[in-house]
Amino acid sequence: MSAAPPPQSIVVLDVEGVLTPEIWIALADEYDIAALRRTTKDEPDYQLLMQGRIDVLSEHGITIDRIQKVIEGLEPLEGAKTFLDALRAETQVLLLSDTFEQFISPLMAQLGHPTILCHRLEIDVDGRIIAFRPRVLDQKRRAVEAFQAMNYRVFAAGDSFNDLAMIDAAESGFLFRAPASIAADRSDLEAFVDYDDLLGALRTARAELGIY
């Protein structure tokens, strides 16, 4: 029997709040709707969070066209592309996000079109968002476990409640620009606010497993 191939590495990253602005907060600011400021940093139940967002959009008559116009005016966070380019030069990188294909394309173009796995929205003929369709439930954790089953060593970073499952499943995981409440609750995790520090931590974690 031949020996198993040596492990390879892949880094999985959350997107909003890590590489890009929070889209829902941008919408809240644009349309002055405080209820849309609630994100996965505040609400661990994503299904509940999204249904509330859909209800608010419907109440205010905000269609997908109006949302996309706001998103087209956004830019990645300062330093995000430099960080991502450096990381992609060293290892495979996959973005795992609970955003939607109909939202994120303009920002991905500005980041050099990295691979992203996310969800889809159901939109009616009038452009109203009527439902969201998760690609799979608990997609971030399941993606990590799928890569591990293919002999990858997975390293993860995110900022919100919905990132904790993938961080815990990974060989090493970190918080990045997480709110104080999450960082305090998960004091077992290293937390960073600077891209250079996160890049260094990911390099160290990979080196500790003999992956360069």
Task: Delimit the domains of the chain by residue range.
Answer: 8-208
Of the candidates 16, 98, 171, 190, the residue annotated as catalytic is 16
Annotated active-site residue 16? The verdict is yes
Question: Is the pLDDT confidence value at 190 over 80?
Answer: yes
Question: Is the pLDDT confidence value at 85 over 70?
Answer: yes
At 7 the pLDDT is 75
Of the candidates 14, 22, 159, 171, the residue annotated as catalytic is 14
At 59 the pLDDT is 95
At 165 the pLDDT is 96
Annotated active-site residue 124? The verdict is no
Burial code (b: 16+ CB inside 10 Å, e: under 16) for 165-184 equals: bbbebbbbbbbbbbbeebbe
Question: Is the pLDDT confidence value at 56 over 90?
Answer: yes
At 55 the pLDDT is 95
Confidence of residue 5 (pLDDT cuts 50, 70, 90): low
- What 3 state SS string does the chain have? CCCCCCCEEEEEECCECCCECCHHHHHHHHHCCHHHHCCCCCCCCHHHHHHHHHHHHHHHCCCHHHHHHHHHCCCCCCCHHHHHHHHHCCCEEEEEEEEEHHHHHHHHHHCCCCCEEEEEEEECCCCCEEEEECCCCCHHHHHHHHHHHCCEEEEEEECCHHHHHHHHHCCEEEEECCCHHHHHHCCCCCEECCHHHHHHHHHHHHHHCCCC
For the segment 25-47, what is each residue's pLDDT rounded down to a tens digit?
A: 999 999 999 999 998 888 888 88
Strands 152-158 and 191-192: unpaired
Q: Check: CB of residue 152 under 8 Å from CB of residue 142.
A: no
Confidence of residue 2 (pLDDT cuts 50, 70, 90): low
At 3 the pLDDT is 63
Q: Which CATH architecture has domain 8-208?
A: Alpha-Beta Complex (3.90)
For the segment 110-164, what is each residue's pLDDT rounded down to a tens digit?
A: 999 999 999 999 999 999 999 998 888 899 999 999 999 999 999 999 999 999 9
Question: Is the pLDDT confidence value at 62 over 80?
Answer: yes
Q: Mean pLDDT in the chain?
A: 94
